[in-house]
Amino acid sequence: MRKRGILITGAAGEIGDSLIRSLSDQGETQIVTLDLRPLPPENAKLSTHIQGDLMDQALLARLVSEYEIATIYHLAALLSTRAEFSPEMAHQVNVEGTLHLLRLASEQSQWRGEPVLFLFPSSIAAYGMPNLETKAQYPRVREWEWNYPTTMYGCNKLYCEMLGIYYSQYFRQLAADRPVTLDFRALRFPGLISAFTVPSGGTSDYGPEMLHYAAKGEAYAAFVREDTCIPFMAMPDAVTALLKLAAVPARALSRRVYNVTSFSLTAAEFGEMVQRFFPQAQITFKPDLKRQGIVDSWPAGLNDNDARRDWGWKPTYDLERSFSEYLVPNISQRYQPA
Ligand code: SER
């Protein structure tokens, strides 16, 4: 008998770190995690971890021979800055890796006779504003607007959204015996900020980095201009959004890809918030023109009306609560001398 389980890929990453704990709090007993890296010891206790490569087809085949996977949280990806340094590798991991899992989910759906739920974190990087004037003119973009990404990561995310929709709705559309297919659902996240992990390889990283450096008592030079504006969200809200979207009945959904957001602010305002809680923080702005170009192409805000209407999305942590109740207390504790 195969054991029924939830699969999380990229489980050692920032979202995975929080998601494992939330799923385990919800009483999910069989969490199977996959990542190239080991899990931190606290999370390793909560799941069955497979240290391996998503691109390893034999490994995936072994995985489904042992587990009946009902839900997949496919978090593994190379983020936007990192992907620009090795775009083809990013394509391999971000697109081919996703394709492997969509195939797996599709086969599992047929085998089970009911759809496997496939949750996919997409991103503001799926958007591409052509210039700052347009960015100012469209401060809260809708899901279907400005889908012209300028990064490999953004292209990968946008295309994988489409692949997910294809596998859910059109896969083998001409077959007489059209099989049961998977149920793909995606969230376009803003920049995420975790108190427990430090981001690596993203372009929204200047926000969380300001905070983590300030808590460590180290000076930080942000790689963007002070007027740079993008949306952000505290990690607990990102996990809540994923779990909420996973729980909603399919009939309530009017789309498969939803914007979700919490607060938008400029890098200067972000710095002021950090300074308010860490008065000793030394924050300067030293724009890196290339990374700046990427953040400038991302929208200043997301319109998440559809998520609010269809499945009651609402962030718990606005800017004030994110800092005062989640980020500052937990980050301060993290860097306290033992
Ligand atoms: N946080 C991501 C990045 O910066 C965007 O999804 O790449």
For every one of its 338 residues, what pLDDT tens digit does the chain have, with 9 covering 90 and above? Answer: 788 899 999 999 999 999 999 999 998 779 999 999 999 999 999 999 999 999 999 999 999 999 999 999 999 999 999 999 999 999 999 999 999 999 999 999 998 999 999 999 999 999 999 999 999 999 999 999 999 999 999 999 999 999 999 999 999 999 989 889 999 999 999 999 999 999 989 999 999 999 999 999 999 999 999 999 999 999 999 999 999 999 999 999 999 999 999 999 999 999 999 999 999 999 999 999 999 999 999 999 999 999 999 999 999 999 999 999 999 999 999 998 77
Label residue 203 exposed, middle or buried (CB < 10 Å: 0-12, 13-18, 19+).
Answer: buried
Instruction: Answer whether 233 contacts ligand 1 (Cβ < 6 A).
Output: no
Helix-, strand-, coil-residue percentages of the chain, each rounded to 5: 45, 20, 35
CA distances from 254 to 142, 166, 242, 246 (A): 14, 16, 16, 14
**Where would I find the beta strands (DSSP E) of the chain?**
3-9, 31-35, 48-51, 67-74, 117-123, 183-189, 191-193, 220-222, 229-234, 257-259, 263-266, 283-285
d(CA 112, CA 106) in angstroms, rounded, equals: 10
Give pLDDT, residue 30. Answer: 92
Residue 2 has a pLDDT of 81
The structural domains of the chain, ordered by start, are 77-191+233-263+298-317 (3.40.50.720)
Q: Is 77 in the pocket of ligand 1 (CB under 6 A)?
A: no
Ligand 1 near 125 CB (within 6 A): yes
**Nearest Cα residue to 141 out of 270, 219, 257, 226:** 257
Q: Write the CA distances from 289 to 29, 204, 292, 296, integer angstroms.
A: 47, 14, 5, 10
Separation of CA 56 and ligand 1 centre (Å): 25
Please tell me the residue having the least CA distance from ligand 1 atom 2: 202
Ligand 1 contact, 302 CB (< 6 A): no
Return the best residue to mutate from 82, 161, 205 for the ligand 1 pocket (most ligand atoms within 8 A of CB): 205
Residue 123 CB–ligand 1 contact under 6 Å: yes
- Block residue for tokens 């996240």: 189
Distance (angstroms) between ligand 1 centre and the Cα of 317 equals 19
153 classed as catalytic: yes
* Secondary structure (3-state) at 314: coil
Amino acid at residue number 75:
L
Q: Extract the tokens encoding 301.
A: 């805000």
Q: From the candidates 67, 73, 153, 206, give the one annotated as an active-site residue.
A: 153
pLDDT at 1: 73
Give the residue carrying structure tokens 């702005």.
285
